Amino acid sequence: MMKRCPWATQDPLYMRYHDCEWGTPLHDDLKLFELLILEGAQAGLSWITVLRKREHYRNALDGFDPVKIAAYDSTKIEQLMGDSGIIRNRRKLEAAVQNARAFLRVQDRFGGLDAYVWRFVEGKPVVNSWTRLAEIPAQTPQSAAMSRAMKQDGFRFVGPTICYAFMQAAGLVNDHLISCFRYLPLAGCGSFRARKETGFEPRSGGT
């Protein structure tokens, strides 16, 4: 039987996400934008809650089209606040609009969100070698640097912990445990990093 990271061994939806998406290097601008919005929506909640609402989010937010979302006004926000299929948090919905506008500015300046975020790992995934979930940090110097830059460029709900969860999910880092069946196939995509103390608090699971 395939051995997975311990956080993905119960819910079938979580298992599919772990097996097919989490930690796989992602370079599609629109998919990266979708992930960024969903990571922000997760703040204070479990990732499985967001996963269960993802399809409804895609319908409610025009397929995560940044051009359309950037044009949302207060009337649209009120409409979304009445949609029980998404997380009805006004600050998070307003942040999605601000992030869509920031995304468009980043496209003009950097050519895309892909180039913008991958520069923080020099274009190659960081391959870690964790044996226990308790070893995985909640944030790293790279995620802190990404957070600072994104805030300066107008993004919201992009603290260092959210940015690290985004980096894990989008494959900028390989944080699968070395015992996980996904670790070795993905390790070939990146650069190994020596294990050392990070100085940051560990996280308890994956997103």
Q: What is the pLDDT at residue 157? A: 97
32 within 8 A of 163, measured Cβ to Cβ: no
Is residue 201 in a domain?
A: no
Is residue 171 in a domain?
A: yes
**CATH of residue 70:** 1.10.340.30
Is residue 55 in a domain?
A: yes
Global confidence as pTM: 0.90
Residue 17 a catalytic site member:
yes
Catalytic residue (choose from 14, 22, 47, 183): 47
* Residue 76 domain boundaries: 26-192
Q: What is the pLDDT at residue 116? A: 98
Catalytic residue (choose from 7, 39, 57, 130): 39
Catalytic residue (choose from 14, 17, 130, 183): 17
Is residue 18 in a domain?
A: no
Q: What is the pLDDT at residue 204? A: 34
Residue 47 a catalytic site member:
yes
Q: What is the pLDDT at residue 9? A: 82
Within 10 angstroms of residue 139's Cβ, the number of other Cβ atoms is 22
Is residue 12 in a domain?
A: no
Q: What is the pLDDT at residue 80? A: 98
pLDDT tens-place string over residues 145-169: 999 999 999 999 999 999 999 999 9
Is residue 76 in a domain?
A: yes
The two structure tokens encoding residue 31: 């998919």
pLDDT tens-place string over residues 67-85: 999 999 999 999 999 999 9
Is residue 202 in a domain?
A: no
Q: Per the structure, how many domains does the chain have? A: 1
- Give CA–CA dist 82/84, Å, rounded: 6
Q: What is the pLDDT at residue 203? A: 39
Is residue 156 in a domain?
A: yes
93 within 8 A of 80, measured Cβ to Cβ: yes
**Spans of the chain below 50 pLDDT:** 194-205
